[in-house]
C-alpha cells in the first residue's frame, strides 16, 4: 500500500472516531436488566444484557436520535416489562412495550447541542438517570444545562390503583394515565392536543412529584428537557444508570 493510500485510511479512521458519541450503561439494580435501544440506527443490534453491577459502553454516530430503556423479568418468551418482541435480547428496531421508563437523546441538534431527557410519558418500570460524562461536555450554567436528568424514586411503590402492572414479586411497573384509562385529556389527544387544553393533570402530578426532573406528560418540556454539547472539539459522552 502506498503512503497516500495509508494516509487516507488513517484520516478516515480519525474521522470515524471523532464523529461519534459514546453512552456508558451501568446496572445498579439488584437484578438483571436487558437494555433496549431504538433510534435512527440501532447500535449493538438494539439490545444487550447487564447483570447487577455490570457496565457496558456503546458507540453512537453523529446526529443519532432515539431512546433507550431497561427490560425486566426477561426469560422464555418475553420480558415482564419493556419487551420488544418475544423476549429477544436484540430489539433490532422494535420499541419497548409500555409502561417503561425512557432515556431519550438527540445528538448534535440545533446549535450543535445535544437534547436529552428521562421520560415517564410511557409509564415507569425502573429508576433511571442520564448525565454527561465529566470532561466531554460543556454548556451554559443553569439547572438544565449539562446536568443530570433522572427519575430516582421507585414509582411502583406509590403507583395509583388502576395503573399498576403486576408481575413476579408484585407491582413491576406503573402505567401512564393514558395507557391505563385512555381518556383524551390524559393522552393529550383530540381536543386536548395543545399545552393549553392538556395541562398538568393529577396523575401526571403524581409522576412529577416523585421525579421532578423527568417528563410526566406530553407538554412537560420546559421542566424536563436538558441540553449540552461536546467540549474542546470532543464528542459528548453520557452515563445512563439503572437504579441510580
Which pLDDT tens digit goes with each residue over 91-130? 999 999 999 999 999 999 999 999 999 999 999 999 999 9
Q: Is 3 exposed, middle or buried (0-12, 13-18, 19+ CB in 10 A)?
A: exposed
Q: What is the dihedral of CA 135, 153, 125, 64, to 10 degrees?
A: -20
Is pLDDT larger for residue 233 or for residue 130?
130
Judge whether residue 36 has pLDDT over 90: yes
Q: What pLDDT does 20 receive? A: 87
pLDDT score of 13 more than 50: no
Domain boundaries, given as residue ranges, for the chain: 3-242
Look at residue 11 and tell me whether its pLDDT is greater than 50: no
According to the model, what pLDDT value does residue 86 have? Answer: 86
Q: What is the pLDDT of residue 180?
A: 96
Would you say 57 and 23 are in contact if contact means Cβ atoms under 8 Å apart?
yes
Cβ atoms 47, 96 nearer than 8 A: no
Closest CA to 149 of 131, 125, 122: 131
Query: pTM for this one?
Result: 0.89
User: Fold for domain 3-242?
Assistant: Thaumatin (2.60.110)
Amino acid at each position: 500500500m502506498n503512503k497516500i493510500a495509508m494516509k487516507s485510511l488513517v484520516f478516515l479512521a480519525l474521522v470515524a472516531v471523532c464523529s461519534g458519541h459514546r453512552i456508558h450503561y451501568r446496572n445498579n439494580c439488584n437484578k438483571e436488566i436487558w437494555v433496549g435501544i431504538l433510534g435512527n440506527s440501532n447500535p449493538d443490534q438494539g439490545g444487550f444484557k447487564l447483570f447487577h453491577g455490570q457496565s457496558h459502553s456503546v458507540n453512537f454516530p453523529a446526529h443519532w436520535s432515539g431512546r433507550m430503556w431497561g427490560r425486566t423479568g426477561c426469560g422464555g418468551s418475553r420480558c415482564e416489562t419493556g419487551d420488544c418482541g418475544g423476549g429477544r435480547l436484540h430489539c433490532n428496531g422494535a420499541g419497548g412495550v409500555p409502561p417503561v421508563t425512557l432515556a431519550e437523546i438527540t445528538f448534535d441538534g440545533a446549535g450543535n447541542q445535544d437534547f436529552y431527557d428521562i421520560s415517564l410519558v410511557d409509564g415507569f418500570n425502573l429508576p433511571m438517570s442520564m448525565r454527561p460524562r465529566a470532561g466531554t461536555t460543556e454548556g451554559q450554567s443553569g439547572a438544565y444545562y449539562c446536568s443530570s436528568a433522572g427519575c430516582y424514586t421507585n414509582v411502583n411503590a406509590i403507583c395509583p390503583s388502576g395503573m399498576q402492572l403486576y408481575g413476579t414479586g408484585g407491582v413491576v411497573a406503573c402505567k401512564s394515565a393514558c395507557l391505563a384509562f385512555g381518556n383524551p385529556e390524559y393522552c393529550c389527544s383530540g381536543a386536548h392536543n395543545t399545552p393549553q387544553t392538556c395541562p398538568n393533570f393529577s396523575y401526571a402530578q403524581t409522576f412529577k412529584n416523585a421525579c421532578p426532573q423527568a417528563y410526566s406528560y406530553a407538554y412537560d418540556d420546559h421542566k424536563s428537557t436538558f441540553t449540552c454539547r461536546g467540549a474542546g472539539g470532543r464528542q459528548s459522552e453520557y452515563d445512563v444508570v439503572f437504579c441510580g
